[in-house]
Structure formats: C-alpha cells, structure tokens
Structure 1
Amino acid sequence: MEKYRFVWNNRLGISLPVLDHDWDDYAESERVHIVEQWETIRGTIPDRIIALEQQIQTRQAQLYEEDDFEVSCSLNYDIAELASRINDLHIWYRINQEIESRRHS
C-alpha cells in the first residue's frame, strides 16, 4: 500500500505530494525518496512562474487596448487567476525548506 504519491495538478502545472501519514511516520529512506522527487518537481516551479507571468503580461497588454467592458472584466479575472496560481506556486516552492528542516531535526 502506498503511503505517498505525487498527483498532477492541472491548475498549477506540476505534480504535488500527497502524504497519507505524518512526516515523522515515514522511514528515513522514504523521506529521502520523497524529498528527491519533490526537488525534481520543485526545480520546475521557477520556469512555470515565468510562463504564467508572460501570460499575465499578454493579458495586461490586451486589457490596455480593450474598450469592451465585459471583455475587460474577463481579462481582469484571467489576470487575477494567473496571479493566484503564481502565489500558490511560491508557497509550494517554499515547502522544501520546511521538509528539509524536519529532515535534519
């Protein structure tokens, strides 16, 4: 029976860890494996953020030129959603620091 897995998150464009137990309940070898997998995924987050920032810039440029109120509202919504994804990716990026500090304690 799997105690952990990584599941693809379409919204963020990365796989996220799903841990079925408390961190301290995993064997040291499992913790090392989880951290190694997460480090590989975590390394893709900056590029993912850059891609989302480029999408925001594109929509902001469209918004600047847009005269239709409903289209402007839709563009603003899209920008806010993309910014929310970036925020979530920043949070996930920092997760590694918490895992590492637990691993070494």
Structure 2
Amino acid sequence: MDYRFEYDSRLGIALPVLSHEWEQYAPALQDAILVEWEQIRGVIPDRVKEIEQQINLYQQQLEVEEDFNRSCELNRQIAELASVINDLWIWFRANQTMPERMHS
C-alpha cells in the first residue's frame, strides 16, 4: 500500500502517511484516501471539545491552587493541551487547501 493512516497518540487521531507526493497518486486512490481522511477529520471537533473540557478542569484547579510548583505544572499542561487543539485545527483545515477537483 502506498499510504496508511497512523495513530498519533498526542492528537488522538490517525494521520495520513503518504509514501509519494499527492499528485503522484491516481485519482481513484486520491479519492479513497480523502474518503478515509474525511471520516477521521469528522471526529476532530469532538476531540477538540474533549480537550477543552480538560483545559477547563485544569483552569478550575489553577484558580484554587496555592502551591507554586503545582500551578506551574497546571499551566504547562494547559499550554500543551492548547497546542494539541491548535494542531488539530490545522489538520482539520488541511483538506481545504487541496485542489478543488480532489473535493468531488
């Protein structure tokens, strides 16, 4: 197989791994890849909501935390989760930059 979808534990979704440049794939294979990607892409908004809920929990903990080191750790965790959300939205928008014929 010339492509696969590999689970990314940080993002919580599978990402495409292509062994060739996109243009080198036959149109039928491009379509198959896009169909599979659209199924994965469809769960990204739900994944973002899950992460936002975790961020909210950390923020609630941070509001009452008195230990400086623990506060720093909570801030680090919030920043990491925010980074994951950013990366998920980048992947969500990725197919919007593909040529129009690939969307049909």
Q: TM-score range by the shorter chain?
A: over 0.9
Partner SS for 1:8: strand
Alignment TM-score, normalising by the size of structure 2: 0.95
Cα gap change, 1:55 to 1:100, in 2 (>3 Å)? farther
Counterpart in the other structure of 1:30: 29
Matched residues in 2 for 1:20 and 1:102: separation? 21
Instruction: Give the Å deviation of 1:82.
Output: 0.2
Write the deviation string for residues 61-98 of structure 1: whole angstroms up to 9, x where unpaired: 00000000000000000000000000000000001112
Paired AA for residue 52 in structure 1: I
Write the deviation string for residues 10-57 of structure 1: whole angstroms up to 9, x where unpaired: 000000001111111000110000000000000000000000000000
Structure 2 residue 55 is matched with structure 1 residue 56: yes
Counterpart in the other structure of 1:3: 2
How many matched pairs?
103
Alignment TM-score, normalising by the size of structure 1: 0.94
- Name the % identity: 54
Matched residues in 2 for 1:58 and 1:100: separation? 40
Runs of 4+ in 1 over 4 A off after TM superposition: none
**What is the alpha-carbon root mean square deviation over aligned residues?**
1.2
Instruction: Give the Å deviation of 1:99.
Output: 2.8
Gaps of 5+ in 1: none
Matched residues in 1 for 2:36 and 2:3: separation? 11
Instruction: Give the Å deviation of 1:100.
Output: 4.9
Gaps of 5+ in 2: none
